[in-house]
Structure 1
Amino acid sequence: MDNMDDPAGDVLAGVGPRLRALRRARSATLAALADETGLTASTLSRLENGKLRPTLEQLLPLARAHGVPLDDLVAAPPTGDPRVHLRPVRHSGLVMVPLTRRPGGIQAYKVIHPPAGRAPTMNLQTHEGYEWFYVLNGQVRFVLGEQEFRLGVGEAAEFDTRTPHWIGSADSRPAELLALFGPQGERAHLAPSGH
């Protein structure tokens, strides 16, 4: 049957390459993704190669594992609504609002750090990659290795994240940042031990 006659086939045609790109962007193996989703590595391989037509029961755990909306996996036709629907993620005391939604590459987030008295204890982190942040509101306490900085509205910092670092509010108000980081930084910030 021709794709023109099969709208569902047209929508599902690109699922395999998107699944493969998402998995590779996370540097995940088929075996690791199988553990994460409950699907077999064989099923995942067949989905990625387009040899198996995906079902909702397969796509839901994959969307969760990759941290993307289901629409991103199936490339649902646009609804005509140009607005970006931001879905905040609460993690380790932070509120992270994704501003970009594409697999791999640099990701942009608005990050809201709680007031200094309500923040998790300072725990310096290291991970691969580089990070850049810009202070939108509040005052930021930024610890990088043996140095400590205080940044205000309109100030920015860029650093190698292999250097131990910590970022938080410097006073009794929340601190809001625009942050850019790559896949390694995204995993570090959204993993259970992120800063």
Structure 2
Amino acid sequence: MLANDESAEDRVRRRLRELRIDRGLTLEAVASRAGMDTSTLSRLESGRRRLALDHLPALAAALGVSSDELLLPHTPEDPRIRAEPVRRGDMTFWPLTRRGAAGGLHAFKFLIPHRRELGPADQRVHDGHDWIYVLSGRLRLLLGDDELILEPGEAVEFSCRTPHAMGAVEEPVEAIGIFGPHGERVHVHG
């Protein structure tokens, strides 16, 4: 028995569930990635089915970890976000989340450093929704045929199927953005 009275099998069950939830994954998604039935994974997590060593490699791969990470005691991760900024054109993005536990959403602080000329050709369209909150400066948002100027303290949420582009008015803009996987790929990683 382990020092804290948790068996290795119980630890693996707990880690499976923790990792799956931390990554915002459903039982169905992990089971599909691991090549097993959803009901099998549910029974493995709950203890209604015995875990076998041959389950570990497929489950670890489905969760993006090594088998060791399922077997070894969990060491709490430093909760501080220390990701490097990402530059895209004249904009800089600072990741504020590690993974998208909330349905794949990621938060970023971003800076638009100067006035930027925008036109209809600059507008992008992609799947998902964007949410933006202006911290400082004035954000110019082209949204379809509309032009919006957002002041500090204002937020906007819109469907990314509407053509959109953003720039700064007269001074740098600092804002927080929450993007889904499609928005992150278009805005942050280009």
TM-score under structure 2 length normalisation = 0.57
Q: 1:194 to 1:30 in 2, by over 3 A?
A: farther
Q: Deviations over 1:43-94 (max 9, x none)?
A: 9x89885643469xx56x816xxxxxxx9xx893558x8xx41233526344
Task: Tell me which moved more, 162-171 or 15-24.
Answer: 15-24
- How many angstroms does 1:145 deviate by? 0.8
Q: 2:82 aligns with which of 87, 98, 104?
A: 87
Q: Which entry has the higher C-alpha Rg, 1 or 2?
A: 2
Count of residues in Structure 1 that have an aligned counterpart in Structure 2: 164
Are 2:130 and 2:160, in contact at CA under 8 Å, matched by a contact in 1? yes
Structure 1 residues 118 and 158, CA gap change in structure 2 (3 angstroms): closer
CA 112–102 in structure 1, closer or farther in 2 if over 3 Å, else same:
closer
Query: For residue 163 of structure 2, what is the aligned residue in structure 1?
Result: 164
Q: Distance in 2 between matches of 1:179 and 1:78?
A: 27
CA distance in 1, matches of 2:99, 2:146: 33
Q: Measure how far apart 1:167 and its partner are.
A: 2.6
SS of 2:81's partner is coil
Task: Tell me if 1:194 matches 2:187.
Answer: yes
**CA 1:11–1:122 in 2, change beyond 3 Å: closer, same or farther?**
farther
Note closer, same or farther for the CA distance 1:8–1:186 as it changes in structure 2 (3 Å cut): farther
Show structure 1 runs of 5+ residues with no match.
Answer: 34-40, 64-70
| TM-score where L is the length of structure 1 | 0.56
Q: How big is the alpha-carbon RMSD for the aligned residues of Structure 1 and Structure 2? A: 4.5
Q: Is the 8 A contact 2:81 2:97 kept in 1?
A: yes
Residues in 2 aligned to 1:28 and 1:168: alpha-carbon distance in whole angstroms: 38
Partner Cα distance (2:80, 2:136) in 1: 22
Counting aligned pairs with the same residue, the percent is: 23
* Residue aligning to 1:15: 15
SS at match of 1:14: helix
How far apart are residue 179 of structure 1 and its match?
2.8
Alpha-carbon separation, structure 2, partners of 1:14 and 1:194: 36
Which ranges of structure 2 fall in alignment gaps of 5 or more residues?
Answer: 46-50
Match of 1:86, SS state, is coil
Does structure 2 conserve the Cα–Cα contact (< 8 Å) formed by 1:23 and 1:29? no
Alpha-carbon spacing, 1:172–1:136, altered in 2? closer, same or farther (3 Å) = closer
Match of 1:66 in 2: none
**Number of the residue aligned with 2:94:** 96
